[in-house]
Amino acid sequence: MESLRVGPLILKVPKSADSSVKTGAWDQVVSLTDFYPTLLDRCGLPPNDDVVGSSLKPLLDNPSEPWEYPAFTFKEDDHKSVQFGFPRYIEYDDGSMDL
């Protein structure tokens, strides 16, 4: 499932009137589906309830903030995984599983 990993994820928030944005790194597992909600949140736009994902703004504001959202991954109809923290559960197309 290496093809489903992206790392490290690097975000650069431009300087703005919002001086609360901190620099730093976090170890929490996030998903690429979190980009769109993050952009909406950072731009002050209302959330879109039709999409999956959570805004990363709390982590951008405070890198040590606890992250309570799992990362789901689907690769065609073959593989599925869910990761919450560092354990990762994977189901393969042949029915085998990994944790």
Cβ–Cβ < 8 Å for 32, 52: no
Q: How far apart are the first and last CA of the chain?
A: 12
Which amino acid is it at 60? L
pTM for the whole structure? 0.69
Q: What is the pLDDT of residue 32?
A: 83
Q: What is the pLDDT of residue 74?
A: 77
The full DSSP string for 45-86 is PPP-TTS-----HHHHH-TTS-----EEEEETTTEEEEESSS
Q: What is the pLDDT of residue 4?
A: 61
Domain ranges across the chain: 31-65, 69-99
Tell me which residues of the chain have a pLDDT lower than 70: 1-7, 14-25
Q: What is the pLDDT of residue 45?
A: 93
pLDDT in tens, 15-28: 655 555 555 667 78
